[in-house]
Structure 1
Amino acid sequence: MTYRSILAVLDGTPAGESQLRAAFALGRRYDAYLEVLHVKPDPNMSLPLVGEGMSGALIDDVSRELEASAQANADRARRFYDEACRAVDLAPVEAGDKPLAGGFRAAWRSLVGREDSETAARGLLADLIVVARPDPGQDGAYAPALEAGLFETARPVLVVPPGGESFAGRKVAIAWNATREATRAVSAALPLLAGAESVTVVSLAESGRNAPDPARLADYLLLHGIEARVRRVEPQRHAGNELLAQCAELDADLLVMGAYGHSRLREFVLGGATREVLSNAEVPVLLAH
């Protein structure tokens, strides 16, 4: 198994620069087709609910502000893509109807619409979706590409924090609790695990019950030629923060875990451990739901 098709959904915020470096590094590593997608919102769909006292002039002002902000993000996203191409001596090209096969290729696709809908549509046939980490200062904020990737495509999502120079994945920590979500995350991460220098299975003992045996996962990984250590941990803090603390102790530069939660009424809702990790992780996190 390998990654042949990678979708990077670039929203045009500054965090996208690190995200794109990671996506390009993975594309080169696996000789994959990388599609960089930016979805510019339609300002007419983004207007807030208009009250009776809101004048037509004010509506026009708000619309212009939304359009200006959307255009600034679109320009920044395209600049990130062009710069990433130049850094690896690739000519920036537009995405067509068919992916570009035959070694590492990257293409730009710009659309107008809803980021969640377009991510869901184009992510279905991607082996991996790469997004920027949601802004931790916006607690509970809707992260459309992340939500659509997790809940509507059934594909793994790599969440990249800002500030990283590139993607390494040399030391990998796996959060293991023997659930369907964790199993899917491990399966999706097999290409990364196979190339890692070290892999550690981290199992947190749950309150009032024994933790799943991480040795069974290590045995499974060995069948894939991957040697993994196991680490059983009695949590000293909330589960998500404990996982991040374990990553720091292991000097891990990638965390693999299941994403727990659900999407309801177009709100971004994740379980506590997943939310804690996404809010605070300083290393990339590979998630599957």
Structure 2
Amino acid sequence: MSYKTIVVHLDMSRHAHPRLEVALRLAKQFGAHLTGLFAVFSPDPRSLYVMSGTADYYATHEALRDERRGALERLFHAELKRAEVAGEWIAVDDTASLAVPRRARCADLVIAGQHDPHDPESYVGDHFPENLVMSAGRPVLLVPYVRTAASTGTHVVVAWDGSREATRAVHDALPFMRMADITTVVTVNGAFAEPGPRIPGADIATLIARHGVNVETKDIYAGVGASVDGTLLSEISGLGADLLVMGGYGHARWQELVMGGVTCSILESMTVAVLMSH
């Protein structure tokens, strides 16, 4: 398996260009066809006309979106040519929460961005990254708005807990792991206790190694009062890793959204790219 069709979600946020650069680099690396999918949040004009003083907002927003879309489309084609990558540009009027998962289902990998609370243009829908992970049916590579790594996939960390979602993510991320210098399978606080004296994560590491991956295992302990997600992110920083692979929503999604969970915390606090599968 390899990634031969990649879709990157583009919008009007200041992170669209850096996200495109990541997508171009990966498309070049894997010899993939790259689709740039432009989808943004568009307010319903019917709801604005009932609000005093907002009648002109929709027209102004539309004009601004058309201007930025044109500039981004020109940049996309120029960058495709420069990188010598095959691709296409698609702009849709549907909401991103519907359009991106639909297009992603005909791709090997979909690339999207983490929500940036400091950039209103990064908002394309409520819980967009979470909905994409749950509904795409394909691996989702989420690019953080604060990047601490210039590369993606040189050192891969697999967050392993033995769940169905983690298993799916491991197999979906094999193309990255084959090209990585090293992959570290991390279990936190004995989260996955295999029977007998075997090292946690040893069996999945053996499977990964049979695909020609340089892999190691590491079992770490979250101290008293420490969270699994915080411990995991600290370990990633210490290892100098630039890609986290994990299953998304091992618990019910409503439970994590309401009560919190590792998936939600990682989506809020990530500083390296995260490949999630559900």
Q: Shorter-chain TM-score category?
A: 0.7 to 0.9
The alignment-based identity, stated in percent, is 29
> What corresponds to 1:5 in structure 2?
5
Residue matched to 1:66: 61
Partners of 1:151 and 1:9 in 2: CA distance:
16
Match of 1:95 in 2: none
Q: Residue 159 of structure 2 corresponds to which residue in structure 1?
A: 175
**Compared with structure 1, are the counterparts of its residues 43 and 70 closer, same or farther at alpha carbon in structure 2 (3 Å cutoff)?**
farther
- 8 Å CA contact retained: 1:129, 1:156: yes
- Alpha-carbon distance change, 62 to 132 in structure 1, aligned in 2, over 3 angstroms: same
Decide whether the 8 Å contact of 1:40 with 1:71 is kept in 2. Answer: no
1:221 equivalent in alignment to 2:202? no
Counterpart among 217, 221, 232 of residue 243 in structure 1: 232
Q: C-alpha offsets along residues 128-156 of structure 1, whole Å, 9 cap, x if unaligned?
A: 00011211558x97243x24431222110
Distance 1:263 1:46 in 2: 32
In structure 2, what is the equivalent of residue 252 of structure 1? Answer: 241
* Cα distance in structure 1, aligned partners of 2:110 and 2:260: 21
- 1:13 is paired with a residue of what secondary structure? coil
Residue of structure 2 aligned with 1:134, choices 115, 124, 137: 115
- The answer to whether the 8 Å contact 1:43/1:67 transfers is no
Quick check: 70-79 or 238-247, which moved more? 70-79
Aligned length: 264
- Give the counterpart letter for 2:270 in structure 1: A
Stretches of structure 1 that go unaligned for 5 or more consecutive residues are 91-103
- Does the aligned pair in 1 maintain the 2:162–2:192 contact within 8 Å? no
Using the TM superposition, give the Cα deviation of residue 83 of structure 1 relative to its aligned residue in structure 2, in angstroms.
Answer: 4.6
TM-score normalised by the chain length of structure 1: 0.80
**Letter matched to residue 139 of structure 2:** P
Map of 1:194 onto structure 2:
178
Pairing 1:111–2:70 present:
no
1:157 paired to 2:140: yes
What letter matches 1:36 in structure 2? G
- How much does 1:243 deviate? 1.1
Write out per-residue CA displacement over residues 223-253 of structure 1, whole angstroms, 9 at most, x where no aligned residue: 2122311111111321112111010111101
Contact 2:4 2:31 in 1 (8 A): yes
Q: What SS does the aligned partner of 1:135 have?
A: coil
**Unmatched 5+ residue regions in structure 2?**
195-199
Q: C-alpha root-mean-square deviation of aligned residues, in Å?
A: 2.9
For residues 64 and 220 of structure 1, the distance between their equivalents in structure 2, rounded to whole angstroms, comes to 55
Aligned-partner SS, 2:180: coil
Residues 231/36 of structure 1: CA separation in 2 closer, same or farther (3 Å cut): same
Code of the aligned partner of 1:24? L
Q: Which residue does 1:203 correspond to in 2?
A: 187
Cα gap change, 1:167 to 1:48, in 2 (>3 Å): farther
Match of 2:197 in 1: none
Q: CA deviation at 1:11?
A: 1.4
Relative distance call for 1:210 and 1:277 in structure 2 (3 A) is closer
What whole-Å deviation, never above 9, does each CA across 1:102-134 have from its counterpart, x for those lacking one?
xx4121111212111111221111100001121
Q: Would the aligned equivalents of 2:39 and 2:93 in 1 still touch at CA under 8 Å?
A: yes
Output the amino acid matched with 1:85.
Answer: L
CA contact (8 A) 1:47 1:62 kept: no
Letter in 2 for 1:121: R
Distance in 1, matches of 2:18 and 2:46, equals 27
Q: If the length of structure 2 is used for normalisation, what is the TM-score?
A: 0.83
Q: Is the 8 A contact 1:9 1:36 kept in 2?
A: yes
Q: Does 2:84 correspond to 1:77?
A: no
Letter in structure 1 aligned against 2:27: G
Task: After the TM superposition, list the runs of 4 or more consecutive aligned residues in structure 1 that deviate by more than 6 angstroms.
Answer: none
